[in-house]
Amino acid sequence: MVFRFPVKIALPKHAYLNGRVIKDHFKRTQVAEHEVTRNALKYIARNTELPARARVEAQLQLTSMPNYTRPTQIVDRCIASGNARSVVSDFKLNRTAFRNRARLGQIPGVKKASW
């Protein structure tokens, strides 16, 4: 297996680990590192009062940045299974893990509804 990014990533210890979770964590750290640069380039590219050449150069720099620095690349994942589908964002669990833990009483303040 070839890693294209540094292996020394401090992952949360409670999270399920697989390749997708590690890759998503790497994307999150890269987005945080490049946030200021991306916002500055976006501001320059969208400012109509600046010369057209400066705006085009800013746009070219934005497009030349790697895809993993974009905030849209971040995906919410379940901390129990690493699954990315149907994640309840308040609890960071997918629906099946949330349901099982709620039925067992492992989530404080959540219980099965009866009316």
Whichever domain contains 57, its CATH number is 1.10.287.1480
Give me the domain span that covers residue 58: 17-75
pTM for the structure as a whole: 0.70
- Is 92 found in the same domain as 50? no
Classify burial at 64, counting beta carbons within 10 Å of its beta carbon; exposed 0-12, middle 13-18, buried 19 or more: exposed
Smallest Cα–Cα separation from 24: which of 62, 64, 78? 78
Most confident range, picked from 16-20, 38-42, 78-82:
38-42
Number of domains in the chain: 2
pLDDT at res. 4 = 57
- Is 52 found in the same domain as 41? yes
Structure tokens at 47: 């400012």
pLDDT at res. 1 = 45
Is 54 strand, coil or helix?
A: helix
- What is the per-residue pLDDT across 54-110, written as a single tens digit (0 to 9) for each? 999 999 999 999 998 999 988 888 888 888 899 998 988 999 999 999 999 888 988
Classify burial at 11, counting beta carbons within 10 Å of its beta carbon; exposed 0-12, middle 13-18, buried 19 or more: exposed
